[in-house]
A = this chain, B = another copy of it.
Amino acid sequence: MAYKITVIPGDGIGQEITDSAVEVLKAADKKFNLGLEFDYHDAGGTAYDKFGTPLPQETIDACKAADGVLFGAVGGDKWDKVDPAKRPEKAILGLRKALGLYANLRPVKVADALVEYSPLKPELVKGVDLVIVRELIGGIYFGEKCESEQHNGAERAWDLENYSVPEVERIANLAFETAKLRRGKVTSVDKSNVLATSRLWRRTVAKVAENYPEVECNNLYVDNCAMQIAVNPTQFDVIVTGNLFGDILSDEAAVVGGSIGMLPSASIGECTSLYEPIHGSAPDIAGQGIANPIGTILSAAMLLRYSLHEEAAADAIEAAVDKALGEGYRTPDLWKEGFTKVNTSEITKIISERV
């Protein structure tokens, strides 16, 4: 039996980085006899240019039929003037909703060799190993909204932040399960001193926590968490939070970890899950063959682990990345005096050989 992986390169550097990850997956396939099959589909600006929509139904269907989805990146100034409903980002939001990708997992792990890339002082960032579990298809992102209405004699717009108990239970359960496999600590982030939605969030997480007596659970306000990520990121194991706070905090945590070119993510769905690097489509360097593919390669490793349960192959890819970095190979975004500068295809080859 073969595994079907749907690949969505998207826009900008998306093509290069997914090509690179697929090459590494093929190396793993050869070694571990996984039986991987790849099919390619469009999304984002590229899809808009071809089909007039950033998310063709055919792409959604292919994802639903796949064992895992590998996603590159979408977006670019080129589509800034397009009708908001058809902008490249809509492909991401649309896929999340269509595939029911309810949780975004963002590990931020700082390898000792990469401590220097963090904007934080080395002593603060050494040993950081956290994962943000962000709710991805609820909250204010998908609540009712109004672009413009008259209200008390003025024009206003609004968006409804909202969470239901089952939505919070589902994401909290995933966070606690994740913590059980890690250091056993969950930090739930909300703004319950101001928001009713956060109060429901907090009391629901507390109830779920009762089922996990072995996991330590604490609560932080989102403003405090934004501070703590910058001053003491090693305190965190699993951070669980809603869609909007997760968007902000996971990007902050990502930069604190150093190069965002290195970081993978998994968006977990009920049937299929989707894996993508956390960085964007970087139209400024697209097509030059210098993009850092490691975030995408590590996303591919997450796909093997979480969707295909091919632990050994996932481990092999992660070890190969560590090895290549340990040997001093660096793409231009990370290159410094004393290291070997390599481009996208060179680092891909180096990592593939080490799988």
Give chain B nearest CB distance to A123 CB in angstroms: 10
Q: Which residues of B contact A148 (CB under 8 A)?
A: 200
Q: Do B255 and A193 have beta carbons less than 8 Å apart?
A: no
Q: Chain A: interface residue count, which band?
A: 35 or more
Say yes or no for A40: interface residue by CB 8 A criterion: no
Considering the chains assembled together, what is the distance between the CA atoms of A29 and B157 in angstroms?
47
Q: Contacts A227-B252, A252-B230; is A200 near B145 (CB within 8 Å)?
A: no
Give chain B nearest CB distance to A336 CB in angstroms: 14
A130-187 CB contacts (< 8 Å) to partner B: 140-141, 143, 145-148, 151-152, 154-166
Say yes or no for A65: interface residue by CB 8 A criterion: no
Per-residue 0/1 for A29-45: is the Cβ within 8 Å of any B Cβ (1 yes, 0 no)?
Answer: 00000000000000000
Considering the chains assembled together, what is the distance between the CA atoms of A325 and B165 in angstroms?
51
Name the residue of chain B whose CB is nearest to the CB of A151: B164
Q: Contacts A87-B193, A121-B119, A161-B161; is A200 near B248 (CB within 8 Å)?
A: no
Say yes or no for A215: interface residue by CB 8 A criterion: no
A207-258 CB contacts (< 8 Å) to partner B: 222-224, 226-227, 229-231, 244-245, 247-252, 254-256
Q: Which residues of B contact A1 (CB under 8 A)?
A: none
- Within 8 Å by CB of A120, from B120, B164, B247, lies B120
Per-residue 0/1 for A252-281: is the Cβ within 8 Å of any B Cβ (1 yes, 0 no)?
Answer: 101110001000000000000000000000
Q: Do B162 and A158 have beta carbons less than 8 Å apart?
A: yes
Say yes or no for A82: interface residue by CB 8 A criterion: no
Name the residue of chain B whose CB is nearest to the CB of A92: B193
Q: Contacts A226-B248, A248-B226, A251-B223; is A197 near B231 (CB within 8 Å)?
A: no
Q: Which residues of B contact A222 (CB under 8 A)?
A: 247-248
Considering the chains assembled together, what is the distance between the CA atoms of A159 and B163 in angstroms?
10
Say yes or no for A124: interface residue by CB 8 A criterion: yes
Q: Contacts A87-B193, A141-B194; is A160 near B157 (CB within 8 Å)?
A: no
Which of A191, A230, A256 is most buried by chain B, counting CB atoms within 10 A of its CB?
A230
Considering the chains assembled together, what is the distance between the CA atoms of A166 and B161 in angstroms?
22
Q: Do B230 and A119 have beta carbons less than 8 Å apart?
A: yes
Q: Do A93 and B164 have beta carbons less than 8 Å apart?
A: no
Q: Do B199 and A157 have beta carbons less than 8 Å apart?
A: yes
Q: Do B159 and A154 have beta carbons less than 8 Å apart?
A: no
Q: Which residues of B contact A162 (CB under 8 A)?
A: 151, 156-159
Considering the chains assembled together, what is the distance between the CA atoms of A244 and B198 in angstroms?
13
List 17 interface pairs A-B (beta carbons < 8 Å), by A numbering: A119-B120, A119-B121, A120-B120, A120-B230, A140-B194, A140-B195, A147-B200, A151-B162, A154-B166, A158-B162, A159-B162, A161-B161, A223-B248, A226-B249, A226-B251, A227-B255, A229-B252
| Chain A residues in the interface with B (C-beta under 8 A) | 84, 87, 89, 93, 119-121, 124, 140-141, 143, 145-148, 151-152, 154-166, 191, 193-197, 199-200, 222-224, 226-227, 229-231, 244-245, 247-252, 254-256, 260
